[in-house]
Amino acid sequence: MNLTKTVGEYAFGAGSFSTLGDTLSEHRADTGRRVIFFVDKFFEGHALAQRLPVETDDQVIFVDTTSEPTTDGVDAYTDIIRNYKSEAPAVMVGVGGGSVLDTTKAVANLMTNPGKAADYQGWDLVQNPGIFKIGIPTLSGTGAEGSRTCVMMNQEKNLKLGMNSPHTVYDRLILDPELTASVPRDQYFYTGMDTYIHCIESLNGNFRHGVADAFSEQSLALCREVFLSDDMQSDENREKLMIASYLGGSAIGNSFVGVVHPFSAGLSMVFHTHHCIGNCIVMNVMEEFYPTETEEFHRMIDAQGISLPVDMCKDLSTEQHKNLHDATVIHEKPLINALGEDFRDVLTPEKVASIFAQM
């Protein structure tokens, strides 16, 4: 039985971003050391960046999220911080969506553990607690703010895997729905649906956990209110989705995903499709595995007037089909959770190709 850790402290509500200065002052006073801010590049020159309580020795690093995090990228950020000053910082703050939140978690672990990011991809490999870290989501849905992992692409090993560890969990969160007001509509939908998809996969799986189920059910109820409403981005709905994302992330430690995430990982390995839009592309064609939820997904996407790329997998070469298949069925844990030990009897190469052909 795994011990589970979730985030212990959080400030919540519109305007709660303003609590950051006081929290940092406490840590600065206790340690006399600096603070590192990882901030999504979108906010460079933006009013939010001006509100960061930055002091003399601090570093503000704007993270380019055009591509999702890689192990090499995380190593490069770690070097930037070490080269600036050898003394470890007191606090690391991540301000952004899943990409920045995960980058911050990974670098905070590497500050206190030797070696490279790739050495810790897996389960419970991180030995020492990382730097105290504060997560401030500006985009809701991945649950990265609540989860015990930080997903990174390892290009050398052709592997997408996180540092699954209790040390990866944020020490504190600031959940301020005002920060998601600037998210573009499509991105808001795609990322928001990540929590919906995670929860329906978990609740339909073979491995269930009472606490994860409770988190997932409440998260789903909030997603339904948001995505079946007239204005998914109203103040009230942005607050609801922020809660849904945190609950979904808190469930992840005790639950498994299902069929959608492995297929989405296939898209990401072959076409570099980003995680959340990839999940939506897959969810759109999941009638066979999740009939009720796929119908509900169609109602949500119609209600919000969001479109998805079409004909992505038309005219693929045999090699591309093989790569898609391999990058999908390699995810045994979620596929066993969804389809049982004999999942390969269901997901034959022909079957996998026919599912991708619908995307």
- The one segment of 45-53, 102-110, 191-199, 248-256 that binds Zn ion by CB under 5 A: 191-199
Report what 139 binds from ligand NAD, Zn ion, none; CB cut-off 5-8 Å by kind: ligand NAD
Alpha carbon 213 to its chain centroid, in Å, reads 19
Single-letter amino acid code for the residue at 20: L
Quick one: which of 67, 130, 84, 86 has its CA closest to 104?
130
| CA angle, residues 29, 89, 127, in degrees to nearest 5 | 120
The answer to whether residue 103 forms part of the interface with ligand NAD (CB under 6 A) is: no
Which string of x and - marks every residue 125-164 that binds ligand NAD (by CB under 6 A)? -------------xx--xxx--x-xxx----------x--
Over the Cα atoms of the chain, what is R_g? 20
Q: Please provide residue 341's backbone torsions phi and psi, each rounded to the nearest 5 degrees.
A: -55, -30
What are the CA-CA distances from residue 272 to residues 7, 68, 88, 248 (Å)?
Answer: 30, 9, 34, 24
Q: How far apart (Å, rounded) are the C-alpha atoms in residues 236 and 242?
A: 10
To the nearest whole angstrom, how small is the minimum distance from the Cβ of residue 212 to ligand NAD?
13
Q: Does residue number 194 form part of the binding site for Zn ion (CB under 5 A)?
A: yes
- The minimum distance between CB 322 and ligand NAD, in angstroms, equals 24
With 0-12 / 13-18 / 19 or more C-beta atoms within 10 angstroms meaning exposed / middle / buried, residue 310 is exposed
Q: Does the protein bind ligand NAD through residue 70 (CB under 6 A)?
A: no
Which of 28, 133, 172, 275 is the binder for ligand NAD (CB under 6 A)?
A: 275
Calpha distance 301→316 (Å, rounded): 27
Report, in Å, the least distance between residue 252 CB and ligand NAD. 6
Report the C-alpha gap between 195 and 3 in whole angstroms: 22
DSSP string, 181-216: TT--HHHHHHHHHHHHHHHHHHHTSSS--HHHHHHH
Angle between helices 291-304 and 275-283 (to 10 degrees): 120
By beta-carbon proximity to ligand NAD, the closer residue of 109 and 180 is 180
Q: Which of 27, 14, 244 is nearest to 134 (CA)?
A: 27
Query: Contact with ligand NAD (CB under 6 A): which of 23, 65, 216, 255?
Result: 65
Among 92, 100, 136, 347, binds ligand NAD (CB under 6 A): 100
- In the complex, the smallest distance separating the C-beta of residue 50 from Zn ion, rounded to whole angstroms, is 32
* 131 contact, one of ligand NAD, Zn ion, none, CB 5-8 Å limit per kind: none
Query: Based on CB atoms, which residue is closest to ligand NAD, 98 or 334?
Result: 98
Among 89, 96, 262, 334, binds ligand NAD (CB under 6 A): 96
154 - beta bridge partners?
159
Range 303-342, binding ligand NAD (CB under 6 A): none
The whole-angstrom separation of Cα 162 and Cα 168 is 9
Least Cβ distance, residue 73 to Zn ion (angstroms): 19
Site size for ligand NAD, by CB under 6 A?
Answer: 32
Query: Mask 25-44, x = binds ligand NAD (CB under 6 A)?
Result: ---------------x-x--
Smallest distance, ligand NAD to C-beta of residue 32, A? 31
Beta-carbon neighbour count of residue 208 at 10 Å?
15
CB of 190 to Zn ion, least distance (A): 11
| Chain residues that interact with Zn ion, rule: CB under 5 A | 194
- Binding region for ligand NAD (CB under 6 A): 40, 42, 65, 68-69, 96-100, 102, 138-139, 142-144, 147, 149-151, 162, 179-180, 182-183, 187, 191, 194, 249, 252, 275-276
